[in-house]
Amino acid sequence: MKKRTCQILALLLILSAIPGANRAASREPVRARNGIVATVSEIASRVGVDILRRGGNAIDAAAAVALALAVTWPSAGNLGGGGFMMIRRADGSAEVIDYRERAPLAASRDMYLDREGNVIKDASTIGYRAAGVPGTVAGVALALKRHGKLRWADVVEPARRLAAEGFTISYPLARSLQGSSRLLAKFPDSNRIFLRDGKFFEEGERLVQPELAATLARIKLNGPREFYEGKTARLIAADMKMNGGLITERDLKEYEPTVRKPLTGNYRSYEILTMPPPSSGGAALIEMLNMLEHYKLAEMGHNSSESLHLMIEAMRRAFADRAEFLGDADFVKVPVEGLISKKYADDLVRTINPDRATPSSEVKAGNPTGYEPQETTHFTIVDREGNVVSNTYTLNGGYGSGATARGTGVLLNNEMDDFTSKPGVPNAYGLLQSENNAIAPRKRPLSAMTPTIVLKDGKLFFAAGSPGGPTIINTVLQIIINVIDFGMNIQQAIDAPRIHHQWMPDQIQWEPLGFSLDTKRALEKRGHIFRERPGYIGDAHAVMIDPKKGIRLGASDPRLGGAAVGY
């Protein structure tokens, strides 16, 4: 076994040194004349296409897909979490449905600290006290009410049927469930539903979720507020009380999503529509694009040491600003206009040495106020009319807090870890965050989710997003650069190897076989530090419009086996 492992490692090293070995052939995007649904689950993608075939628009399909993924992709698809839905109508109007979770009324700034003021291990990530008030059901219902064509019951039914009748487990899902068994086994309902009390599901078996089906049946019959004011709410609140959680019936009853305006920027004459706070993703994305616009990346070559060096330096500076300034703009002042200012990017670029890495210890947050005017999953959908939805939602960690609310089949999020438990102490993703993101009742935790839409000459060009915690922002950044600077089609842009740097810790995350040894060594000579082991980054899903023919192009990430389906 040891000899075999050594042979494999040797082969990987040889391949990584071969020119072009990190440029694996990419399949063509899915092509369709009418509409495309791109998600991590082929079953959910087909649910969305069926809604489009029945006369629904992209928003109807998005609601159905979001609910279906709660059944077929339980590590991130959810009823017990939250997220952001970016909508652009065919008439050019655009808005964001912010259905991010909120801190319960009983939450407090230091709730995860012990008597000595130290962060309590796992307190913000595992179990009932880690959960924020869920927003998914309210969020998709609001989107449907404002922009949909079909009835609520029509978009709930496919998910209810999948939960009641079951679906065939894929290899990625079987592997995911087994990989999370230590977490899920801590909670009786999660252990019973997802692990069969230790008799792990295998690829090809059927997963039936009767409690979740009953919950979906209730919200189908009684409407989305049933989740917040009916039997489901009472079941969640009772289980919370029994297990030391903070969410009450009042928390659920008072939850409402928020409608926001997208952040807008531009990059090499393309218009970027992306996420405002409480997501940090949009501001960081535009800040990085503004810096990179100063350089002729296309002439440097895709993933060359020169272009990667500049991307890493831009990432380093944007994430330093993220740590200092970002939070829920409903609670704290966030200098968004300064962060996305072209003039601010001019200042940051002057601090970048084209030949040497800047140690993160020497990179501090900038002064954007000087320019101020006084696992997760993603799916993307475009319909026949040109309406587009880019939606990212999550339980935060894979399977969230690990707890399933008794009698509901609903996995609960662990989004409270996205708050600052203690300034200067990293969260589960290694992110440092400031007092701006401190816990407060009803406050939304800072997010990295970055559903984004790119326009060309005022028309939809492509839309994309990804899960992956803080890596989301840099995944979307690299997709945009791959398309605009390096001329890739949307599938190539998603398939291409990725990197990630988040200021602290001062290290580069990288993908297996992503870069030649020469490129890696050249970056190390510049002073960059690589994480010891590589790992895959993100799981992007996107749609694009062929500007000449109007054909819809769909692309799903091969990293988790997703599927784009068109009609």
Q: What residues are annotated to the active site?
A: 376
Inter-helix orientation angle 305-325/471-484, to 10°: 140
Q: How many residues does the chain have?
A: 567
Tokens of 487: 């001329």
Neighbours of 95 (CB within 10 A): 18
CB of 430 within 8 A of CB of 246?
no
The answer for residues whose C-beta is within 8 angstroms of residue 103's C-beta and 6 or more apart is 132, 133, 416, 419, 439, 440, 441, 442, 443, 444, 445
Shortest CA distance to 309 belongs to which of 542, 160, 519? 519
Neighbours of 5 (CB within 10 A): 9
Peptide bond into 505 cis (omega under 30): yes
Q: Cα-Cα-Cα-Cα dihedral of 436, 346, 262, 75, to 10°?
A: -60
> What does the alpha-carbon distance between residue 479 and residue 113 come to, in Å, rounded to a whole number?
39
The β-bridge partners of 64 are: none
The β-bridge partners of 133 are: 102
The SS3 of residue 458 is: coil
- The values of phi and psi at residue 487, to 5°, are 70, 25
CA atoms within 13 A on the CB side of 483: 27
